[in-house]
Amino acid sequence: MRTAKIAGTGLYAPDRVVPNSFFDELYGEDVDSFLREHRNIVERRYAGEDQATSDLAVEAARDAMGDAGIGPDDLDLIVLSTDTPDYISPSTAAVVQNKLEAWNAGTFDVNTACAGFVTALDVGRKFVETDEQVEHVLVIGAYLMSRYIDAEAKNVASLFADGSGAAVLTPSDDEAGILTAKLESKGQYCEHMGIYTGGSAAPVTEESPLPITRNKADGRVQKLEFREKFPDDFNPDNWTRVVRELTDRLDIAPDAVDRYFFTQINIESIRETLDRLGLPREKAHNVMDRFGYTGNACVAMALADAFDHDRVEEGDLILLVASGGGAAIAGMAVQL
């Protein structure tokens, strides 16, 4: 069976920089100190009014294809992860194909919320592994959550940001490649957080008999809602377990991994996970200080950023561990 390797990575962060001081002024209190100390967030990026999720995805895709040394005509498949799509239908991946003019590529979207990029990467690698007609798969995580932020929920509004990351998968001709992965879901948490209006269960219409919550600030009927609190240790518990399962499969200890990439929502959860594993905190590569929390794009952006700043190199063993609404959890071990 063929092995799929990461041949190129890329990222895109929109031009508009929103520092923590914006929220200090918005809420009339010191938000910056908490964000710096407990979330490692200093600033984040918001998309322009003329940008859609597909536009962010296209920029990251071009960066990744350039890194891999391929063009749009070389793509056989585009798998795009997002929970902030351009439309409910058609897929955002189809929009991206059109904007890239990647006419030879099949397309589809994946939505496992913030676990999306790692999930899509696992889906893409299975095409490379099992279909000899597939030589180049473009995997993208794209996030434009600023359109759905509820400003009244000030404990979470300052976390979210926009951005995109991408990777190109190709067959490996050496020892490099995706070694193992794990996808799981805990559907009992499906009502805890999400964007709950706009689908068949709660369509957005003025006459809808369903209890649609409006954003009092600007009249929007679609917004990110936190309906129930996740257990405090949800991420450290599950991330630690996934790391141990993946490393056990490879018959190695967690300290044999050169670099870890976790969902970038909470620096304290990342530190606690590494502490539980007995690992130095420097093993994780983090980008939330510059980019805020970019959901399903954050692991892809952190990976591309690590390549850009020489924090990883050929031959390194890395672990990608992500979690998100649903609740979805995804882990992957990759030999670079």
**Who has greater pLDDT, 206 or 152?**
152
Q: Which among 174, 182, 124, 172 has a CA at the least distance from the CA of 3?
A: 172
Residues 101 and 182 in one domain: no
Query: Is the model's pLDDT at 109 over the cut of 50?
Result: yes
Residue at which a domain ends, from 150, 174, 198: 174
Query: Is the model's pLDDT at 209 over the cut of 60?
Result: no
Share of the chain above pLDDT 90, in %: 85
pLDDT number for residue 207: 54
In a domain, 85, yes or no: yes
- Which pLDDT band, with edges at 50, 70 and 90, does 218 fall under? very low
Residues 131 and 274 in one domain: no
**Who has greater pLDDT, 173 or 24?**
24
Residues 159 and 54 in one domain: yes
Termini Cα distance of the chain:
18
Side-chain half-sphere CA neighbours of 274 within 13 A:
21
- Which pLDDT band, with edges at 50, 70 and 90, does 205 fall under? low
- Which pLDDT band, with edges at 50, 70 and 90, does 31 fall under? very high
pLDDT number for residue 222: 81
Residues 168 and 235 in one domain: no
In a domain, 224, yes or no: no
In a domain, 205, yes or no: no
Residues 159 and 182 in one domain: no
**Structural domains in the chain (count):** 2
In a domain, 199, yes or no: no
Q: Bridge partners of 226?
A: 193
- Which pLDDT band, with edges at 50, 70 and 90, does 210 fall under? very low
In a domain, 147, yes or no: yes
**Who has greater pLDDT, 173 or 248?**
248
CA 176/CA 6 separation, integer angstroms: 8
Residues 166 and 183 in one domain: no
Residues 6 or more apart from 121 whose CB is under 8 A from it?
Answer: 139, 167, 169, 178, 181, 320, 332
Residues 48 and 153 in one domain: yes
In a domain, 213, yes or no: no
Residues 252 and 267 in one domain: yes
Share of the chain above pLDDT 70, in %: 95
Query: Is the model's pLDDT at 153 over the cut of 90?
Result: no
Residue 325 domain boundaries: 178-187+229-335
In a domain, 194, yes or no: no
Q: pLDDT per residue over 287-320, tens digit each?
A: 999 999 999 999 999 999 999 999 999 999 999 9
Backbone angles phi, psi at 123, to 5 degrees: -65, -45
- The pTM assigned to this predicted structure is 0.94
Residues 166 and 233 in one domain: no
CATH number at residue 265: 3.40.47.10
Residue 214 is which amino acid? Answer: R
- Which pLDDT band, with edges at 50, 70 and 90, does 213 fall under? very low
pLDDT number for residue 155: 85
In a domain, 310, yes or no: yes
pLDDT number for residue 217: 37
Residues 263 and 298 in one domain: yes
pLDDT number for residue 215: 41
Cβ 294 vs Cβ 324: under 8 Å: no
Residues 165 and 248 in one domain: no
Cβ 123 vs Cβ 131: under 8 Å: no
Dihedral-angle region of residue 254 (phi above 0 means left; psi in -120 to 50 means alpha; beta otherwise): alpha
Cβ 109 vs Cβ 85: under 8 Å: yes
Query: Is the model's pLDDT at 138 over the cut of 60?
Result: yes
Residues 79 and 61 in one domain: yes
